[in-house]
Amino acid sequence: MGNSKDRIKFNVGGRIFETTSTTLANAGRDSFFGALFDDEWNLSPSPENLFIDRNPDCFAVLLDLLRTGDLNVPTNIPERLLHREASFYGLLNHVRTAKWGPFDGNRLRLSDSVKGIAPGDGTAIRAGPDGGCCVAHGSVVHVFDWMLDEHYPINLDYQRVNDVGWIDSDNIVLSACEKLGRGDGGMGLFSSSSGDLRYKFQVSHENQVKSYTAGALSFSPDYKIFSSCKGRSNEYGIGVWDQITGKQTDFFYESPGWSLGDADKLQWLNGKNCLLVATLFPRKDNCYISLLDFRDKNMVWSWSDIGSPMAIDEKRVRDAIAMEDSNSICVVNEFEDLGFIDLRMYGGSVRWSSRSRLMKSKMPDEPCYPKLALHEGQLFSSMNDSISVFCGPDWVLTSRLRRSYGGSICDFSIGGDRLFALHSEENVFDVWETPPPPII
């Protein structure tokens, strides 16, 4: 890079910086610096000193990040100021990547806690695609960007939010209870930054628009939204909508003797092109888990504990998650015992494992039932005030995340290289990140 044609000078806020095209190319095509290159990644003609009216101290940090991949921030530069400047140059993802490494449940460290957002127990927490999150409390959803700055809250005017999910970093879908006498409820698409309602998802039954309660949500890569639905007529089942148009495209009606409209959990399975629907205790006296194929409106697999001996309550299924690689469904009971159901057998039994039972003690007065998540080959299970991580073909307990305060974990979510855990007391949520690997 000794050739002067490969070098470029910047005048940033009165300070001169000189660098090379190789360093600037590390910023990527979509960055501020990407516009300085032609289609062949050659520097376009530019003034001798390109003037940028921005903060020179932050520019020095960001230029060093492009040179070395390391983020070294002097103590005199506020983090918020650096993030603002990184956003201007299109380098926010570079800063995020340098701040923490690839997600690994066994290396997670607590990075932050956000306290006391709203009174009452939290409903759900959902990680966003860019490292932010949203938290539902009753009828209000609080939205945070990856810097944990709160945006305008989404308020549904005393209608309880049942679930929430991210379409992308700019759009959030909320499902809510129907409010009798008002015809409200159902689902809506909201702006994550302003909280404005963009449109509502309607349910049509016999060519008539019906009011309904929307429950668990799931999304597929081909831009479909799935939600459990309960209406006043026959609108019990799973609705399907197009993410782009907002129009209803399908509805899988609940069959007699089964439960779909009350589902606690939905999960789209890419490999099987099916939707997992799980209705769990204590919402229902019995548990119902099924796989739905919408191509021919067929329930291709199902399991229920109806008729199973229930002498001990600990065998009640509290959460379920499909594991396509092993053709099984993992379930968990209130003592964090893991169980596995073989998807290759229709209506098979649960193979319970007690090796995770390390916390056999008195249950808290208001327990939060376990939740499950699967991320990049690692299995996560919440129990009281901690989250366990299981790895390997036999799902061995390898680590546990725990806070000293905040109460039981009522929900957790993984996304954007972070794990968010919502506690029941004071609605504290914790942010867990993987530190970057050591520099050798």
Structure confidence by residue, pLDDT tens digits, 67-99: 998 899 999 999 889 988 998 999 988 888 888
Identify the residue with better confidence: 75 or 436: 75
Is position 401 within any domain?
no
Residue 435 pLDDT exceeds 90: no
Average pLDDT over residues 383-412: 89
**Which pLDDT score is estimated for 256?**
87
Report if residue 56 sits inside a domain. yes
State the pLDDT at residue 382.
93
pLDDT at 356: 46
In this predicted structure, the answer to whether residue 64 has a pLDDT above a threshold of 70 is: yes
Residue 81 lies in a domain: yes
What is the residue type of 81?
A: L
In a domain, 85, yes or no: yes
Which pLDDT does position 30 carry in this prediction? 87
- 346 within a domain of the structure (yes/no): no
Distance CA 364, CA 326 (A): 34
Least confident of 219-228, 256-265, 346-355, 370-379: 346-355
Find the mean pLDDT for residues 115-119.
64
Q: What pLDDT sits at residue 229?
A: 94
- Please report where in the chains the tokens 């596995």 appear, as a residue: 340
Whole-angstrom Cα distance, residue 62 to residue 429? 30
At 168 the pLDDT is 92
**For residue 406, what pLDDT is reported?**
76
- 299-344 pLDDT per residue, tens: 999 999 887 665 444 568 899 999 999 999 999 988 778 999 999 8
- Per-residue pLDDT, averaged over 133-155, amounts to 91
What pLDDT is attached to residue 180? 61
Give me the percent of the chain exceeding a pLDDT of 70: 87
**C-beta separation of 383 from 95 below 8 A:** no
Specify if 14 maps to a domain.
yes
Section 185-193 average pLDDT: 91
Mean per-residue pLDDT over the chain, rounded = 86
Q: Measured between alpha carbons, how far is 411 from 423 in angstroms, rounded to an integer? A: 7
pLDDT band at 407, cuts 50/70/90?
confident
415 versus 185: the higher-pLDDT residue is 415
Range of the domain at 55: 7-99
Residue 86 lies in a domain: yes
pLDDT in the model for residue 330: 95
Q: For residue 46, what pLDDT is reported?
A: 59
Q: Which two tokens stand for residue 240?
A: 């399907």
Position 2 scores a pLDDT of 36
* pLDDT-derived band at 252, boundaries 50, 70, 90: very high
Mean pLDDT of 201-230: 91
pLDDT at 224: 96
Q: For 363-377, what is each residue's pLDDT tens digit?
A: 545 566 789 999 999
**For position 428, what pLDDT does the model report?**
86
* Number of folded domains that form the chain: 1
Nearby residues of 212 by Cβ (< 8 Å), 6 or more positions away? 178, 185, 186, 203, 229, 230, 231, 232, 235, 239
In angstroms, rounded to a whole number, what is the distance separating the alpha carbons of residues 329 and 290?
10
Greatest mean pLDDT among 96-100, 252-256, 280-284: 252-256
Q: Are 204 and 219 in contact (CB under 8 A)?
A: no
Lowest mean pLDDT among 111-125, 142-156, 157-171, 332-346: 111-125
| Res 359 pLDDT > 50 | no
pTM: 0.85
- Amino acid 182: pLDDT: 61
Say if residues 85 and 94 touch (Cβ distance below 8 Å). no
User: Is residue 50 domain-resident?
Assistant: yes
Q: How does pLDDT run across 33-62, given as a tens digit for each residue? A: 888 877 777 777 655 668 899 999 999 999
Sign of the dihedral defined by the CA atoms of residues 39, 45, 48, 54, in that order: negative
The answer to whether 120 and 138 are in contact (CB under 8 A) is yes
What's the CATH number where 83 sits? 3.30.710.10
Provide mean pLDDT across the span 204-213. 84
For the cut 80, the answer to whether the pLDDT of residue 15 exceeds it is: yes
